[in-house]
Amino acid sequence: MWQILALPESQLCLSAVLKCGQSFRWTSIGSAPNQEYRFCLRDRVVCLKQDATTLFYRTILPLSQPSALPQQQIAEAETLVWLRDYFQLDVDLQKLYAEWAIRDKVFSSGIQTRFAGIRMLRQDPFENLISFICSSNNNIGRITKMVQALCRHYSAPLLSMPDPADPLIEVQYHPFPSPSVLAAPDVETTLRDLGFGYRAKFIQRTAKMLVDTHGSADLAEKFLAGLRNASTEDAREELLKFMGVGRKVADCVLLMSLDKKEVVPVDTHVHQIAIKHYGLKGSLNAKSNMTPKLYEEINTKLVTVWGDYAGWAHSVLFTSDLKAFSTHGVEAAETTLPTPPPTPSPLKRKGGVSDQTSTADLPPSPLAGRTKRRRTTEAAR
């Protein structure tokens, strides 16, 4: 039943951090052995699980007949191809980490070992675009709920299965809705009622603009995916045309969906990291507005430090700074390093400047120990 997901480096199974795009959820595959993580991938639900040494996957097809073994094998083969694409397994991550460690002391002193195996996912452009439109003035926990509400409300469930943690609960797996569905005029009102606030209009307008411009949802999605072949500057220019998409959101989509590996999205959080570790001017206390000029300044600096995969490096630093991962890999680092740093995280911020990454911002991780599980019976992919 379970298939082996062959990995280019063993560390991935132990400490990969997966940001499941549409659910906008950070989770660590390695943090809770043998727990399942599931998400919709195109026409199916994919389950991931890992033991001490290996990452496994399996495929659940909708309406799948009990037998049909050949069909299942074909599906597993397809899933493997898609997972390799989704995890971008052809990118040699160890080589990248080695380069970052040479270029950057922050990497070589702790981060490199504690946060090994973190790779950028190649996420669907449309769902990622909408997810990040939701992210303005917002925190991860609420963004996750909003995107799940979007899926639950605007797409039919692919299938339903018992919750791995509690088999008495059936979980419905909804794919991300199509642009044409979200383009309907009444979507704005509905999303407002669902608590999306001013972002309701952005989502509806963006979806409508996509469908109107390209004629159909299918062509719209093909257009977005086609931006993978455009230059970073051209692709960014296209993204900035959408309502609710500024520089930060555009850069997130460029990096996480459009293969622009060098792009470093700058938010207040990254700003703090840049000040603390990379000599950017600014105060850790005063919240200065992010001007285009300052954005470029930070961006340029970080690209200079990290090189042409700067966006990937940024993801590692970002994860290491999340409170939910503040103790991640600390013990491993202590046993490996002769002189371990006394602080749990070298990047840990001080003071109450922007404490947006408290654990309360994060939804319960499906692979982390479940202490308090929400009663929701549906899961957006």
Partner DNA sequence: CGGACACCGCGT
Partner DNA sequence: CGCGGTGTCC
Catalytic residues: 248
SS (H, E, C) 195-217: CCCCHHHHHHHHHHHHHHHHCCH
> Angle at CA 120, nearest 5°, toward 369 and 283?
85
Please name the residues in contact with 113: beta carbons below 8 A apart, sequence gap of 6 or more: 329, 332, 333, 336, 337
- Computed from CA positions of residues 268, 15, 327, 338, in that sequence, does the dihedral angle turn out positive or negative? negative
The one among 346, 353, 364, 368 contacting DNA by CB under 7 A: 353
**Whose Cβ is closer to DNA: residue 110's or residue 141's?**
141
Separation between Cα atoms, residue 142 and residue 158, nearest integer Å:
24
Main-chain phi, psi angles of 223, to 5 degrees: -60, -50
344 is a site residue for DNA (CB under 7 A): no
The one among 3, 72, 88, 139 contacting DNA by CB under 7 A: 139
How many chain residues are in contact with DNA, going by CB under 7 A?
A: 48
The one among 160, 232, 354, 376 contacting DNA by CB under 7 A: 354
> Angle at CA 164, nearest 5°, toward 160 and 167?
75
Helix, coil or strand: residue 322: coil
127 is a site residue for DNA (CB under 7 A): no
**Whose Cβ is closer to DNA: residue 5's or residue 150's?**
150
Residue 51 buriedness (CB in 10 A; 0-12 / 13-18 / 19+): exposed
Minimum separation from the CB atom of position 343 to DNA (A): 21
Which two structure tokens, joined as six digits, stand for 291? 């001007």
115 is a site residue for DNA (CB under 7 A): no
**Whose Cβ is closer to DNA: residue 64's or residue 268's?**
268
Minimum separation from the CB atom of position 182 to DNA (A): 16
Length of the chain: 381
Please name the residues in contact with 74: beta carbons below 8 A apart, sequence gap of 6 or more: none
The one among 84, 153, 228, 248 contacting DNA by CB under 7 A: 248
**Whose Cβ is closer to DNA: residue 38's or residue 199's?**
199
277 is a site residue for DNA (CB under 7 A): no
Minimum separation from the CB atom of position 222 to DNA (A): 23
137 is a site residue for DNA (CB under 7 A): yes
327 is a site residue for DNA (CB under 7 A): no
**Whose Cβ is closer to DNA: residue 79's or residue 272's?**
272
269 is a site residue for DNA (CB under 7 A): yes
360 is a site residue for DNA (CB under 7 A): yes
Residue 39 buriedness (CB in 10 A; 0-12 / 13-18 / 19+): buried
Separation between Cα atoms, residue 119 and residue 101, nearest integer Å:
16
**Whose Cβ is closer to DNA: residue 2's or residue 198's?**
198
**DSSP letter (8 states) at residue 108:** I
Minimum separation from the CB atom of position 85 to DNA (A): 21
Separation between Cα atoms, residue 109 and residue 338, nearest integer Å:
12
Interface mask toward DNA for 287-306; x: CB under 7 A: x-xxxxx-------------
135 is a site residue for DNA (CB under 7 A): yes
The one among 148, 178, 320, 357 contacting DNA by CB under 7 A: 357
Minimum separation from the CB atom of position 200 to DNA (A): 8
Helix (DSSP H) and strand (DSSP E) numbers for the chain: 17, 9
Interface mask toward DNA for 7-46; x: CB under 7 A: -------------------x--------------------
Instruction: Give the binding site for DNA (CB under 7 A).
Output: 26, 132, 135-142, 192, 195-199, 201-202, 242-250, 252, 265, 267-269, 287, 289-293, 318, 322, 353-358, 360-361
